[in-house]
Amino acid sequence: MNIENSNSEVKPVKITETILRDAHQSMLATRMTTEQMLPIVDKMDKVGYHAVECWGGATFDACLRFLKEDPWDRLRKLRDGFKNTKLQMLFRGQNILGYRPYADDVVEYFVQKSIANGIDIIRIFDCFNDLRNLQTAVTATNKENGHAQVALSYTLGESYTLDYWTNMAKRVEDMGANSLCIKDMAGLLVPYEAEQLVHALKETVDIPIELHTHYTSGVASMTLLKAVESGCDIIDTAMSPLALGTSQPATEVMVETFKGTEFDTGLDQKLLAQIADYFRPIREEAIESKLLNPKVLGANIKTLLYQVPGGMLSNLLSQLKEQGAEDKYEEVLAEVPRVRKDLGEPPLVTPSSQIVGTQSVFNVLMGERYKVATKETKDVLMGKYGKTVKPFNPQVVDKVLSAEEKAQTITCRPADLIEPELHKIESEMKQWKQQDEDVLSYALFPQVATEFFKYRQAQQTGIDDNVADTKNGAYPV
């Protein structure tokens, strides 16, 4: 195989398996239970994956809110089962797994407890790629002897040049990251751009490069191929029953693609087939129960036009449906890039995707742009989420922010203004505390965690009344 490659040493590509986290988050609204995961762990542990991503992202919230499970208990059980495989989680920088910046003491404690309970690799990202929002988590991970991987949220726009990505990569390496991930949450990275990007990154940094992409726009498998040919060390894939669509390319397909080449993963297709056989009924059941929406299965080329991740598309649809305004869908999609530009052109990933999406819906439904601005939109314009790559639209700032709010605008790292809060949080929830980790569950989701603690207490005392009904959907999806 004659492949032009700038690297003198070409190694077999490594695979991070996402079916226990991002794949079911993308396809099944994060509803796979621990009970569904555990029977297949032994076989997955024999595959020889680089890592299994199994925690973080939306799984923590979903465990507590919808499944009535303790996410920490899930992690411990998975750690017990995976004796030979590294476990990985997704971590939203200073936002941890929540939707606001937390004080440094909470971030540090969460990292400490994640590693103590079994996580090996923490993938840390920020929705604005504001590295100030990543440093505390990276430093804490290094202190606990974990692997700190920094993920740069990939997006398109005039500011996001090759120089931007290589400069960011160098800064990520300098801040102490053990590896770098290009996090292409919307499937915007096309094959030849990936080739160029990975070449440039490999020439810039010495740490390993991983590529995480989604199949939403239909190009992801080809993107992974070109990235690997260009020296990408690790790729993220999902077992075929929960692959493609808004998820990742299929593990078995990528393994077969590189078979017999210098990039051969060495993974056993027979073993992978057994694992796929296990997950297939879970997929079929999800289709029957309408948990798996057929809309997430195909390729949507509008992703490339509007740069909207798959999960954001479905959120926009449901918001419009609630308002009886589904006919405004195309109008809202067209508004998204305009709002994004007004707000400094951030990548669209949690929570920036929700903020831009919701504001776009308001702008269209109100018939006047920014007639109503959400609290989160104001917070972005006041600097409370961090620094964007471009300045905000001054006309929008003038329309949305009062004189008083403009005076409160910040340019420092948002967490610098947050006092240590662990002690206060612990005193608030001490009546529910059964393990140290409960403090962190409460810190991230006070109401949801309290409801879970009540449910847990009811189960332990044998009071199986209305509280227990939450398992069967008493919470909104």
pLDDT digits (tens, 9 = 90+) for 365-404: 999 999 999 999 999 999 999 999 999 999 999 999 999 9
Q: In terms of DSSP H, where are the helices of 175-268? A: 191-204, 220-229, 251-258
Q: Is residue 160 part of a domain?
A: yes
Examine residue 156 and state whether it is found in any structural domain, yes or no: yes
Report the domain count for the chain. Answer: 3
* Cα atoms in the 13 Å half-sphere on the side-chain side of 261: 18
CATH number of the domain residue 114 falls in: 3.20.20.70
Question: Residue with structure tokens 């993938």?
Answer: 123
**CA distances (Å), origin 20, targets 45, 73, 77, 81, 121:** 13, 15, 13, 13, 15
Residues 397/398/402/407 CA torsion (nearest 10 deg): 70
Mark whether 155 and 221 lie in a shared domain. Answer: yes
| pTM (2 d.p.) | 0.92
Predicted pLDDT of residue 350: 83
Q: Position of tokens 């991070």?
A: 16
- Could you tell me which residues are beta bridge partners of residue 56? 90
- The pLDDT mean for the chain works out to 92
Half-sphere exposure of 70 (CA within 13 A, CB side): 19
Q: How confident is the model at residue 474 (pLDDT cuts 50, 70, 90)?
A: very low
The predicted structure's pLDDT at residue 471: 38
Query: Are 193 and 44 found together in one domain?
Result: yes
Assess whether 276 and 326 both reside in one domain. Answer: no
Q: Give me the mean pLDDT over the 182-198 stretch.
A: 96
Residues 162 and 217 in one domain: yes
Phi then psi dihedrals of residue 19, to 5 deg: -65, -25
Residue 307, domain CATH:
1.10.472.90
Q: How far apart are CA 437 and CA 432, in angstroms?
A: 11
Q: How many other C-beta atoms lie within 10 A of the C-beta of residue 102?
A: 27
Each residue of 264-300: pLDDT tens digit? 999 999 999 999 999 999 999 999 998 887 777 888 8
9 falls in which pLDDT band (50, 70, 90)?
low
| Final residue before a domain boundary, out of 288, 316, 343 | 288
In this predicted structure, the answer to whether residue 352 has a pLDDT above a threshold of 70 is yes
Cβ-based neighbour number of residue 270 at 10 Å: 6
**Is the residue at 294 inside a domain?**
no
137 inside domain? yes
With a cut of 90, say whether residue 134 has pLDDT above it: yes
Is residue 9 a part of any domain in this protein? no
pLDDT digits (tens, 9 = 90+) for 74-97: 999 999 999 999 999 999 999 999
Q: Where are the beta strands (DSSP E) in 214-370?
A: 234-237
- 180 and 149 in a single domain? The answer is yes
Structure tokens at 211: 């590529």
How are beta strands 179-184 and 209-213 bridged, if at all?
parallel
pLDDT band at 313; cut points 50, 70, 90 = confident
Shared domain for 241 and 306, answered yes or no, is no
Q: What are phi and psi of 192, to 5 degrees?
A: -75, -25
Tell me the C-alpha distance between 391 and 413, whole Å.
16
Q: What is the pLDDT of residue 468?
A: 40
Is residue 310 scored above 70 in pLDDT?
A: no
Choice among 305-319, 338-352, 372-386, 397-411 with the minimum mean pLDDT: 305-319
Percentage of the chain modeled with pLDDT above 70: 94
Task: Over range 210-237, report the average pLDDT.
Answer: 97
State whether 35 and 107 are in the same domain: yes
61 lies in some domain = yes
CA–CA distance, 351 with 311 (Å, rounded to integer): 12
78 and 105 co-located in one domain: yes
Name which residue leads in pLDDT, 474 or 392.
392
Name the domain boundary from 229, 262, 288: 288
Parent domain of 174: 14-288
CA distances (Å), 38 to each of 8, 26, 34, in order? 41, 20, 6
Residues 125 and 216 in one domain: yes
pLDDT of residue 306: 78
Which of 48, 185, 57 has its CA nearest to residue 129? 185
Asked if residue 7 has pLDDT above 60, the reply is no
Contacts of 175 (CB under 8 A, 6+ apart): 131, 134, 135, 138, 150
The pLDDT of residue 466 is above 60: no
Residues 185 and 310 in one domain: no
Question: Does residue 21 share a domain with residue 84?
Answer: yes
What mean pLDDT do residues 120-137 have?
97
| % pLDDT > 90, the chain | 83
Question: Do 125 and 174 have their domain in common?
Answer: yes
